[in-house]
Amino acid sequence: MTAHTDPPNDPSPQDDDEQLPCGRLLSRVWDDREQQADDPHLRCCPHCRQAVRGLDRLGSAVLGLREEEADAPATDAAALTRRVMEVVRLELRPGRPLSATWPPGSPNGPPPGGR
């Protein structure tokens, strides 16, 4: 059994385009819809009509997301930038940061008795 992992040598530009059961390409149906073409097939074919309904639902979803995004309060990028830069400056300081507590059993911990 052979495993083919290489792409085909001569890919057709229509390879990514779905062909509907009626024979029309999905891209053509969507283009005709956007151009408001007077095509009897587009009006009568159940496959093309379903594709157009799908495009309409997709368009509605995108518009809804745009409106939702426009209504959302703007995020304060300055506050986030300030916090990130504080961490960067801390990391760039000479020496390593010292911990306020010694880890249990650390050979570099304080001597017995807390001194």
Q: What is the pLDDT of residues 30-72, one digit of tens each?
A: 899 889 888 899 889 999 999 999 888 888 888 888 887 777 6
Cβ-proximal residues to 49 (8 Å cutoff; 6+ apart), any chain: 42, 43
Task: Give, in degrees to the nearest 5, the angle at Cα 29 between 11 and 43.
Answer: 155
- Asked whether the whole model's pTM tops 0.85, one would answer no
Q: What is the pLDDT of residue 48?
A: 92
Q: How far apart are CA 88 and CA 90, in angstroms?
A: 5
CB 58 within 8 A of CB 26: no
Report pLDDT digits (tens) over 88-114. Answer: 777 776 666 555 566 666 666 655 655
Q: How far apart are CA 84 and CA 90, in angstroms?
A: 10
